[in-house]
Amino acid sequence: MLARNALVFVVATALTAAVAGAQQPKSTTPAHSTAQAPAAKPSQKTSTAKALPVSADSAKKIVAANEAGATVTSAKLHHSSGKAYYEVSYKMKGASKAMHATVDANTGAFAQKAAPETTKSSTKKPS
């Protein structure tokens, strides 16, 4: 009886170890390790671009949604005073000049830039 209990204990322990080993994730590293070159340092542009929650494509979509009938032509990332924003150029249907808007690269806030005045003051005297 004692031998039978010992045998059951050994079998149960072996099965438990086998099941636990099967549940362990397989290692993807090879058994023989080769030396690898150190990873390249990310540049300032690369690390900043990855950290921004709003992409250039998203900025274009935000402008298109806020300006009905606009055709977005470009979106460029700028940094000023520690803040990142996209300057988005677009044309309105039927307009000849491009307009510009800014989209905050962190929040997605849309702001239309004021159009520069195109009227010239006349220096002629009335006759």
CATH number at residue 85: 3.10.450
Q: Is the pTM of this model over 0.75?
A: no
Note the pLDDT tens digit of each residue in 58-113: 999 999 999 988 999 999 999 999 899 999 999 998 888 999 999 999 999 998 87
Note the pLDDT tens digit of each residue in 21-38: 555 565 565 555 555 556
Asked whether residue 89 is domain-assigned, the answer is: yes
Domain with 63 in it = 47-112
Q: How many domains does the chain have?
A: 1
**What span, in angstroms and rounded, lies between the C-alpha atoms of 92 and 99?**
8
Which value, in Å, is the radius of gyration of the alpha carbons in the chain?
Answer: 33
Residue 20 confidence class, pLDDT cut points 50, 70, 90: low
The answer to whether 102 and 87 have CB atoms below 8 angstroms apart is: yes
